[in-house]
Amino acid sequence: MGMTITEKILAEHAGRKEVHPGELITARIDLAMANDVTAPLAIKILEKYGIDEVFDPERIALVLSHFVPAKDIKSAEQAKIVRDFAKRHRIKWFFEEGEGIEHALLPERGVVVPGDLVVGADSHTCTYGALGAFATGVGSTDIAYAMATGEVWLRVPESMKFIFYGKLQPWVTGKDLILYTIGQIGVDGALYRAMEFDGETIRNLSMEQRFTIANMAIEAGGKSGIIAPDEKTIEYVKERAQRPWKVYQSDPDAEYHSVYEWDASKIEPLVAWPYLPSNVHPVSESTHINIDQAFIGSCTNGRIEDLRLAAKVFEEALKQGKKVHPDVRCIVIPASKGVYKQALKEGLIDIFLEAGCVVSTSTCGPCLGGHMGVLAEGERCISTSNRNFPGRMGHPRSESYLANPAVVAASAVMGRIAHPEEVVRAESLAQI
C-alpha cells in the first residue's frame, strides 16, 4: 500500500521507510517558529530547566507580529523578551515588528520550502502546507522542546482528500473554497487529520490562494493542510528558497480516511456568519446584514493578490463617486512589509486612502482582537481573517463575518454585506 504526501514527509523525518496513521513517532524538524505571544512562554520554559543553547540558530524563526507595534507595557515587555533571546542566541530568522505576519512572511522570504517539517507555536502554522510541507501548530512547551532538541513527538495523522474540479465563478476565490469545505464537514470534521487538497481547480489557483486554503485547515480541526507541489510551487520557491527542498507526492494507491469531490463551478462567494467558520451562507443570502467595520488583512488574506482584488472594487466605487460608507470603518493591513511595498508601488495604498480606508503597518492587529480595530459590544465586522468565535475580534457580544477580499471591500462601500457585483459594473468585470 502506498503512502500519502504527509506520510512520506513524516517517514523521511523520522528516519523510517514508512509510517502509518496512528503511530507515535519522534521526528527531526526543519524549522521551529514562535511569535511575540507564544515565544516568551517557551523561553521561560528553557530558562526554568537551565537550557542555555538552542539546537540550531538557523532553524528557528521568531516573529514579532501579534501585539506590535506594542499596544501597552505588557506587550512591549513580551516583545523585549523575544528580542533579547534572539540576540543572545543569534537567531538567524528573527523578524522585528513591521516585517510581517509569520505565515505570510516565512514563505515570502523562502524560510519554509517544500518537503519541510515545520512546527510553530501558532495554530495557523498549517499555512505552509501550500508549499508541500508538513506544518502544524503546537503549544509553547512543545516549541521549547523543539528549539532545544530539534525534534518533535507526534502521532501520524490520517489523511483526508478534497478534490475540486470545474471553473470558478467570477469573484470566487480560494477563501470561498475553504469556507465551503469547512461548511460541509464542520469545525471538527478533520480533527487531527491531514487535509490534502487536489484537483484541477486547486492546480489553477495561484500560490497566494493556495496559502489561504491551507491556512484555514485548522478551522476544520485539521492537524495540517497540504497541497502537493507543482510547476507553480517550484516557480514560487526557486527565487526565494534559502536552502534545498524536496518534492513529495502521494502515491496513487495511498489510503485516505475519506475523499470528497466537489464541483467548484457551483460555488458562489460565501460568508461565514457568527459564531463558527462552518456557519457558511452564500453572499446572496447575507445582504441584509449591516456592518460597522470591514477588515482586509491577516495571515489568511493580506497578500498582494488580496489587496489588488479589494483595490479593484474600491477603484470602481471611486469612479462612481462612492467611498467607504460613512457608517463603516475600513481597515487595511498588508500581511508583510514586502506586500506593503508592492502595494505602494502599484498605487493600491493611494486607492485605499482615497476610498476612506485606514492603512496600517504589517501586523495581526484586529484579527485576534489585539488592537487597531477591536470591536465594541454589539458591533459587526466583515473580515478577511480566519475566525469568528465569540470575542475573537473584541467584545464577546460583537459579531465577525468571514469573506473574501472583494466581498469585504464591496461591503465596506455599501454599509452592509454585499456582492462585489453590486459595486463593480458589469462592463468593468472583464477587466478584473
pLDDT for the residue 275: 96
* Statement to judge: residues 291 and 190 lie in one domain: no
- E-strand spans in 287-403? 293-296, 329-332, 358-359, 380-383, 399-402
pLDDT tens across 396-424, in order?
999 999 999 999 999 999 999 999 999 99
Q: CA 56, CA 93: separation in Å to the nearest integer?
A: 11
Please say which residue of 229, 262, 295 terminates a domain.
Answer: 262
The answer on 295 and 249 residing in a single domain is no
What was the pLDDT predicted at 360?
95
- Reduce the DSSP state of residue 167 to 3 states and report it: coil
Q: How far apart are CA 224 and CA 136, in angstroms?
A: 5
How do residues 235-290 score in pLDDT, each as one tens digit? 999 999 999 999 999 999 999 999 999 999 999 999 999 999 999 999 999 999 99
Q: How far is residue 395's CA from residue 134's CA, in Å, rounded to a whole number? A: 35
Beta-strand ranges (E) seen in 60-99 are 60-63, 93-95
Q: Give the orientation angle of helix 304-319 with respect to helix 207-215, to 10 degrees.
A: 110
List the domain range (segments joined by +) for residue 321. 273-429
Torsion on CA atoms 195, 200, 205, 206, rounded to nearest 10 = 100
- pLDDT by residue (tens digit) across 372-387? 999 999 999 999 999 9
CA torsion, ordered 20, 21, 22, 28, to nearest 10 deg: 70
**Dist. CA 269–CA 176, nearest whole Å:** 6
Q: Is residue 268 part of a domain?
A: no
CATH of the domain at 42: 3.30.499.10
- Quick: pLDDT tens for 122-166: 999 999 999 999 999 999 999 999 999 999 999 999 999 999 999
The model's confidence at residue 370, banded by pLDDT at 50, 70 and 90, is confident
Residues 256 and 319 in one domain: no
321 in any annotated domain:
yes
Type and span of the H or E element at 280: strand 280-282
Whole-angstrom distance, CA of residue 40 vs CA of residue 38: 6
Q: Look at residue 333 in the predicted model and tell me its pLDDT.
A: 98
Give the three cell numbers for residue 1.
Answer: 500500500
Q: Which of 262, 285, 301 is the last residue of a domain?
A: 262
- Report the predicted TM-score, pTM, of the whole model to 2 decimal places: 0.96
The answer on 172 and 26 residing in a single domain is: yes
pLDDT of 428 higher than 80: no
Indicate the DSSP class of residue 139.
-
Question: CA-to-CA distance for 35 and 106, rounded, in angstroms?
Answer: 12
Question: What letters, b where the CB count within 10 A reaches 16 and e where it falls short, cover 411-424?
Answer: bbbbbbbbbbbebb
Are both 257 and 293 inside the same structural domain? no
In Å, what is the CA distance from 115 to each residue of 17, 28, 60, 101, 378? 15, 12, 17, 22, 45
pLDDT at 430 exceeding the cut of 80: no
Q: Domains in the chain: how many in total?
A: 2
Q: Does the pLDDT of residue 192 top 70, yes or no?
A: yes
